[in-house]
Amino acid sequence: MKHTLVALVEDKPGVLNRVASLFRRRSFNIESLTVGHTHEPNVSRMTIVVDTELTAPHLVEANLLKLVNVIDVHDVSNAPTVMRDLALIKVQADAGSRAEIAQLADIFRAKIVDVAPDSVMVEVTGDEDKIDGLVELLRPRGIIEMVRTGQVAMVRGAVSANGNGNGNGQ
Amino acid sequence: MAQLTGAQIIWESLVKEGVEVIFGYPGGAILPTYDAMLDYPIHHVLTRHEQGATHAADGYARASGKVGAVIVTSGPGATNTVTGLATAMLDSSPIVCITGQVGSSVLGSDAFQEVDVTGITLPITKHNYLVTRADDIARTIHEAFYIAKSGRPGPVLVDITKDAQNAKTEFVYPTQVEMHKRHEHLLSESQLKRAAEMIDQAERPVILAGHGVLISGAMRQLRDLAEKTQTPVALTLLGIGVFPREHPLCLGMMGMHGEAYANRAVQAADLVIGIGMRFDDRVTGNLKTYSPHSKKIHIEIDRSEIAKNVHVDLPLVGDAAGVMDQLIPLVSAQQRHNWIEQIDEWADDTRARDILKRDASGKLLPPHVIGDLWQATGGDAIVVSDVGQNQMWEAQYYRHSAPRSLITSGGLGTMGFALPAAMGVKFARPEAEVWVVAGDGGFQMTAAELQTIQQESLKINIAILNNGFLGMVRQWQEFFYQRRYAATPITSPDFVKLADAHGIAGIRVTKREDVIPAIQTARDHPGSMLIDFRVESEESVYPMVPAGADLHAMIRRPVEAS
Ligand SMILES: Cc1ncc(C[n+]2csc(CCOP(=O)(O)OP(=O)(O)O)c2C)c(N)n1
């Protein structure tokens, strides 16, 4: 099973290194890790996906909370959550096959964002399964390169990960 | 407002934090700060190696409960602190280590004596900082002390560039720490009730008490809980002293070289209550067969220790004293005659094998030396032990009754810890009788600190259990490697002459009957004294649970052998 943790961290030099070093040192097996800004200045947000077969999510959470630069951690696995991953996929395509790829992309609500004589670039957003699905369909046509951002997650409804535990202590 | 240099601010801040003594070693990148030192009422101890400075600060912290302080230069000075920081980290000991760093304009350029010390020490500090502006020094040092001692304590390193030490700014000491508040996991009534029910219903409960009890100052609560529920208490190595060894419910140390009956009790228990301990592999042996019939309650302040090694049925996350304060009124008073008698029966076997009762037939046996040391000091000394057989014999035969009376490197098992740590202990507790117990190997690792002891006119007694071997490793080779003694025979200098060269008195003891008189001589001697105990060379520590073996599968001392 997969667990998704959302961590709010201080946007300071070295913080990603501290988190990565923790995962390495504790032999935590992390499926994906993404970092980005939030609406608050100086606060970054990490989405961490853990395979529970290999790594106990409660230990990831408890260890993250020991890092001084970590503001808060939530395990959102049991909450109704929107999860998104973005991929750019460059596929071999000539004039003959371009239309077919465009059609496929359409079904996945993906976009063609670049066209070259021998290739097209597809941009797709969605949950992991959806992107995996499109990748599998494109693979036989010859994927030249691909990049995925890794997953980001947000709980539905008017709750905020930033809402809790973000006060200044003692 | 007067402008101060960063260097002055460092000392102002340390004074504000209540630092009275700091252990260190100067060098280029920290020179501005050393220059400013002379104007401040903090005593600086020049150790002979930066590792010694960190161990001394660690010893100071463990003996006093306060934060120990270290100051060293960049590069090699900083890298020499690594072992001491890791030692403090693994044993949750609060120290703050200030390292000088090259100027911020050349950071990252491999400048002379530049090393990425915050990178190096990332996994062996609780937290660390790189400070490049004088403005940030006061706040950072204040935070560092707070972090070092709060929650589960640990070492904090503050790396300060030379230009930050030289720059001038206004000094304002913060009154608050701006840190992110963790949502407190308040214990629910139902959790506590459930714990009380589990304790009430248990027939064969055991408390496993560790260093966390000491850090929390929960000795009274531990005693109340144990006595009210008549639950025997087994101790981790670092838990020694939190529950008096002579208490009828005390089982002594458990684990690899623990008391056999303590380990048997853990294996037979139907309830294990871990308090401020972390189910380390030296305590559990094979996890698959560890205490197989018991439910487990874990009282622990560090949530990341819960269910890390063993399955826990009921975690009670929090400060040990606070949790027990809430728990004790909920448990009912019990008598557990059967269980206690059962354990006592197991202890008979240990008594039968007790080497202290045996005639050594002319040999000088290390357990006898420790037993005599315990008697001669009335059990009232602070013993700082090194690592190896000497450490285990000390833990077994010096029957500690007071908290903070055994100082030793547990988690990292750092040879060479004892002598420098003892200096810190003596600064923390000048009135106390301090004894170092070390092997001939470990002692040689940091023996240069004898001169620091001399320079500081400290009164420390040193007992070397000199067996001519790296004894503990030799023991493993004897048991598990067909006595192939690879690299374990070790020669030593004449320790008496070595002490003498340092201006410290020394005597050699080769016979049992001379042990107590020698100890008395050392105690009466106004200065430090070293005793070179020439002990039996191939004596082993019993019992022993081989690494990773079942806790009940102990190698016992043969009943007949002498
Ligand atoms: C710094 C360090 N290096 C190596 C070891 C591995 N080690 C553990 S016990 C031991 C032997 C210690 O010998 P000695 O100091 O003579 O003490 P004894 O066991 O004989 O009492 C060694 C080498 C260690 N714990 N620490």
**How many whole angstroms from B371 Cα to the centroid of ligand 1?**
21
- The domains of chain B, with CATH numbers, are 3-170 (3.40.50.970), 189-347 (3.40.50.1220), 354-541 (3.40.50.970)
Residues whose CB falls within 8 Å of the CB of residue B371, separated by 6 or more in sequence, listed in order:
B356, B397
pLDDT score of B560: 61
Q: If pLDDT is split at 50, 70 and 90, which confidence band does A51 have?
A: very high
Q: Which atom of ligand 1 is nearest to the CA of B391?
A: 21
B534-543 confidence digits (pLDDT tens): 999 999 999 9
CB contact under 8 A, B182 and A165: yes
* Cβ-contact A101, A122 below 8 angstroms: yes
Return the ligand 1 atom nearest residue B465 CA: 21
**What is the model's pLDDT at position A161?**
86
Let me know: does B535 contact B373? Beta carbons within 8 Å: no
pLDDT band at residue A166 using 50, 70 and 90 as cut-offs? very low
Is some CB atom of chain B closer than 8 A to the CB atom of A164? yes
B179 contacts A168? CB cut-off 8 A? yes
Tell me what pLDDT residue B325 has.
98
| Band of pLDDT at residue A167, cut at 50, 70 and 90 | very low
H/E stretch holding B508 reads strand B505-509
For the stretch B360-410, pLDDT in tens is 888 999 999 999 999 999 999 999 999 999 999 999 999 999 999 999 999
- pLDDT score of B465: 98
Q: What would the pLDDT profile of B45-99 be if each residue is shown by its tens digit?
A: 999 999 999 999 999 999 999 999 999 999 999 999 999 999 999 999 999 999 9
User: What residue owns the CA closest to ligand 1's atom 8?
Assistant: B388
8 Å CB contact of A59 and B177: no
Low-confidence ranges of chain B (pLDDT < 50): 561-562
Q: Which residues of B are catalytic?
A: 50, 112-113, 162, 472
pLDDT recorded at residue B74: 98
Beta-carbon-side half-sphere exposure of residue B41 (alpha carbons within 13 Å): 4
**Which domains are assigned to chain A?**
2-79 (3.30.70.260), 82-148 (3.30.70.1150)
Q: How much helix, strand and coil, in percent to the nearest 5, is found in chain B? A: 40, 20, 40
Phi/psi of residue A19, nearest 5 degrees: -65, -45
Q: What is the ipTM metric for this complex?
A: 0.91
**Model pTM score:** 0.95
How many CB pairs below 8 A link A and B?
Answer: 57
State the best of A42, A44, A170 to mutate against chain B, taking most chain B CBs within 10 Å. A170
